[in-house]
Structure 1
Amino acid sequence: MLPYLTTVKPVRRIRYFIFLKDVLILALTTFGGPQVHLAMLHDLFVRKRRYVTESELMELNALGQVLPGPTSTQTITAIGFKIGGPNLAYLTLFVWVMPAVSIMTAAGIGIYYLERHNLSLQFTRFIQPMAVGFLVVAGYRIGRIVIKDKISLALALTAALAGYLFRSPVMTPIVIALGGLTTALTYEKQQRMPKEPLRIQWANFFLWLGVFVAAAGLGAVTRSLPVRLFENFYRNGSFVFGGGQVLTPMLYNEFVAFKHYLNREEFLSGLGLAQAIPGPVFAIAPYIGALSMRDAGVSGQLWGSCVATAGIFLPGTFLIFFVYRFWEQLKRYRVVRASLGGINAASTGLTAAAALALFEPMAPYWPSVGMVLLTIFMLLYTKIPPYALILGGLVLGLLIK
């Protein structure tokens, strides 16, 4: 037994190291959002490495879609948890997000440097309408999946109207919750499944809730901007269902329309860049965090990026660790399954509201309108990757004065 025991840990370490290397490869090469991420996870983690089976991958991805937070990040983190427990999962999260976070932090610092030295940002002017085009296509694609009947259509339209008329950060979680409650009432349409008693381990839930309450309390007492930024992003990360396209209106409402930490042009430039880099779209958070603390210098911007990154990614991680342990029992309840349709429909409506709000100031300018339409066409009818479109927009901005 002793020789076996002495060789188990080194073998596991080697396997964990190879897994983290594969995660890094994905973090540097996955462009295009959750749908593309899932395909690449299947190719590498299921077909080539066999870390998980196809059914296990799809189950973990479904769990990520149910919970608030970034679906791709939660899926890949849950795989790390399944392979090596919480320690490997946290390392997986760090390796997965760091390339995109580093790029977007540098972008935030770079944008402020150009503004401070009165250097023109005209080369980014095509990125802003392109970002609106990306948002429109994301909403359209998710809408085709989740809008299946008159109820989901009505919820999407109502959410779009509410999100457009009431641009408060408080409105988003309310709309999403009401959407889920509406379809939860139709649970009798769901197929019955044999139930098992829920065996819940509450540690990660209390960790999520404790950080939530502590951040809100400390922010209110200290009025410290880094603490308040962490709380803002932690709250948004705790209530965003549907991925990056739903996070966008939440962040725009809070940091641009409500608190004015960024202007509209800065936000759209960051949104466009976030579409062009590999990794999670939630990486727009460190960009916003860096610009929110621009007055504190480069060190302050780096600190702003760190608290924003932690705030946006930790809630989904805590929650998937919590729910993962009893997901098999939970998904058997019809109310839970029924609520998902309303949550997804409301999220689609909020995406439409964000796209409309961002497009509205561009409407009088035909070059911007043309770029929005061209971006939509290229995304829907060509196979040109998003990063190539964004790079093309930057080059066009440099060439056309």
Structure 2
Amino acid sequence: MLLLTISAFGGPQAHMTLLLRMMVEKRRYLSEKDLIELYALCQILPGPTSTQTITAIGYKIGGARLAFLTLLVWMFPAVMIMTGLAVVVSHFQRQDLSLEFTRFIQPMAVGFVAYASYTISRRVVNTKAGIAIMLVAAVISFFIRKPFIYPLLLLLAGLATAIKWKKHPHEQKQKISVKWGNLVLWISILIVAAIVGGVTQALPIRLFENFYRNGSLIFGGGQVLIPLLYTEFVDFLNYLSSEEFLSGYALVQAVPGPTFSFSAYIGALSMRAYGVGGEIIGGIIASVGIFLPGTFLIFFMIRFWDELKKYRVIKASLEGVTAASSGMVIAATFLLLEPISNTGLNFLFIIGTFLLLKFTRIPAPLLILSGLLAGVLL
């Protein structure tokens, strides 16, 4: 897993290729069919898809202890790198040093999100109903910039397509045996964190609650994470500037491992008033908050997933959930475009990044390093 972690660039789809090569073909820990089914399960759960798939592999091979160890090895390098980058950014600001050399990776971040919205919509939205839901979700999430709108859109979109359950083929089912412990733990922590954070107004607790809540509501992987976190931490809470947010999102493209490690960067900068120690704590709090819900849910679901996936209403609702998630990523492209200065050079970097991602196989880390180099030279 450590070898996989330090080489896993490119998001969930690229991660799946590496998992197939390492876990199935080379190590033979599980079959290709098992891996694909685990990946399908994680796609319908809120949380980081790659991370949940990897955690599920650990659980399938060696139970809960190996699953937690696998999770830690997978997330630790990326979380530490993104926390370190946040500390560097904060240090530059305290020393009144210029961060102008990062100015080109901000429009490049918009290019990355634009490409993500393009690829996601093409891959998962292939019906008239899905296209309609995607467009409506994009418009609503762009104009109503409140944290509650995202889970509400996902719920309504799932209900909208669940009514088509009869169109899916019937499968023979057995009685489902459910162990509720992890689900109860997931909900309990969500409620307790909200109450304690509201009463004490302590920033570390509120920070944990923010990320835990978002980790409990995000469907579709790291790209869908962006509009939620931007709305919450830039527009709503004002913990970060749009420039800091965009710089961090661009930098995470050059870091191997889970895209959700971007949360460590946001958490660290949110705690900058407490010094370097506070920033490190903020990065850890944010990471635990964002990764923990998905872990509880995969532990809960994996025990009866084989039977649950046979229910037609579940299959039907996924069409709406994935379409709404795609719409949110489209909205994020325009949302992140707003703070970018309307200069020809910025638009050149946005369009150029999109075209390079679409038509070439240049690795994302190399693109980001090129953007930083251009910022230094120009």
**Partner residue of 1:372 out of 340, 350, 369:** 350
Distance 1:41 1:156 in 2: 30
- One-letter amino acid of the structure 1 residue matched with residue 310 of structure 2: R
Larger mean CA deviation between 356-365 and 56-65 belongs to 356-365
**Contact 2:242/2:339 (8 A) holds in 1:** no
Match of 1:119 in 2: 97
Gaps of 5+ in 2: none
Q: Structure 2 matches for 1:234-253, cutoff 5 A?
A: 234-253=212-231
Residue number among 33, 44, 64 corresponding to 2:22 in the alignment: 44
- Counterpart AA for 1:112: S
1:294-328 Cα distance to aligned partner (Å, 9 max, x none): 00111111111111000000000000000000001
Number of positions where the alignment pairs a residue of Structure 1 with one of Structure 2: 378
Structure 2 counterparts to residues 339-354 of structure 1, below 5 A: 339-354=317-332
Relative to structure 1, is the Cα distance of residues 154 and 274 closer, same or farther in structure 2, using a 3 angstrom cutoff? same
Structure 1 unaligned residues grouped into runs of 5+: 1-22
1: CA distance, partners of 2:254 / 2:167: 41
Q: Distance in 1 between matches of 2:318 and 2:91?
A: 43
- Root-mean-square deviation (Å): 0.8
The letter of the residue matching 2:15 is H
Aligned partners of 1:305 and 1:375: how far apart in 2?
Answer: 28
Cα distance, 1:362 vs structure 2: 2.7
Counterpart of 2:40? 62
* SS at structure 2 position matched to 1:312: helix
Contact 2:54 2:70 in 1 (8 A): yes
Counterparts of 1:186 and 1:129, CA distance in 2: 41
Partner Cα distance (1:272, 1:364) in 2? 19
> Does the residue aligned with 1:348 lie in a helix, a strand or coil?
helix
Residue aligned with 1:92, SS:
helix
How does 1:67-216 map onto structure 2 within 5 Å? 67-216=45-194
Residue among 3, 7, 12 paired with 1:34: 12
- What is residue 53 of structure 1 aligned with on the other side? 31
Aligned partners of 1:107, 1:178: CA distance in 2, in Å? 38
Letter in 2 for 1:194: Q
Q: CA deviation at 1:186?
A: 1.1
Any idea what SS the aligned residue of 2:357 has?
helix
Name the CA distance, whole Å, in 2 between partners of 1:273 and 1:74.
Answer: 23
Shift of 1:363: 6.1
The equivalences for 1:194-343 within 5 A come to 194-343=172-321
Contact 1:156 1:347 in 2 (8 A): yes
- Please tell me the residue identity of whatever aligns with 2:288: A
Q: Which stretch shifts more, 234-243 or 138-147?
A: 138-147
> 2:127 & 2:80 partners in 1: Cα distance?
42
Quick one: distance in 2 between partners of 1:147 and 1:60?
Answer: 21
8 A contact 1:283–1:309 mirrored in 2? yes
Structure 2: distance between partners of 1:42 and 1:169: 36
Instruction: Provide the C-alpha distance between the structure 1 equivalents of 2:110 and 2:174, rounded to a whole number of angstroms.
Output: 45
Paired with 1:321 and 1:327, the residues of 2 have a C-alpha distance of 10
* TM-score in terms of structure 1 length: 0.93
Secondary structure, aligned partner of 1:361: coil
Letter in 1 for 2:55: T
CA contact 1:362–1:369 (8 Å) conserved in 2: no
What letter matches 2:75 in structure 1? V
